[in-house]
């Protein structure tokens, strides 16, 4: 069975993240609707990250930096982003 350890590690990480009140507060604030940009902050951040959008409010730009840090290493997408 391949990927069993990866799956259990991922589930453990998810449980730890969701169970942490600080992480939940951060995730909650990042997923709010942005009145200025007309979308969820995460959506705007992903659009900025992928180049589909060029400008956004300060909160969405900060969210994009967090997404970029989580989804890339040295400016390159992490391996899990390449998987289908």
What distance lies between CA 47 and its chain's CA centroid? 12
pLDDT for 74 equals 57
pLDDT for 9 equals 77
pLDDT at 84 over 50: no
pLDDT for 3 equals 54
- Residue ranges per structural domain of the chain: 32-74
Quick one: DSSP state of residue 32? S
Q: pLDDT (tens digit, 9 = 90+) per residue, 6-64? A: 788 778 777 777 777 887 888 888 889 999 999 999 999 989 988 899 999 999 999 99
Whole-prediction pTM = 0.61
Q: Give the helix/strand (H/E) hosting 40.
A: strand 39-40
Quick one: tokens of 84? 């289908």
Phi/psi of residue 34, nearest 5 degrees: -100, 115
């Amino acid at each position: 069975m391949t990927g069993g350890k990866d799956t259990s590690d991922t589930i453990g990480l998810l449980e730890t993240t969701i169970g942490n009140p600080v992480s939940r507060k951060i995730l909650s604030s990042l997923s709010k609707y942005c009145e200025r940009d007309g979308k969820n902050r995460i959506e705007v951040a992903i659009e900025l990250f992928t180049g589909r959008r060029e400008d956004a409010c300060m909160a969405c730009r900060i969210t994009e930096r967090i997404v970029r840090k989580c989804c890339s290493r040295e400016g390159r997408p992490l391996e899990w982003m390449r998987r289908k």
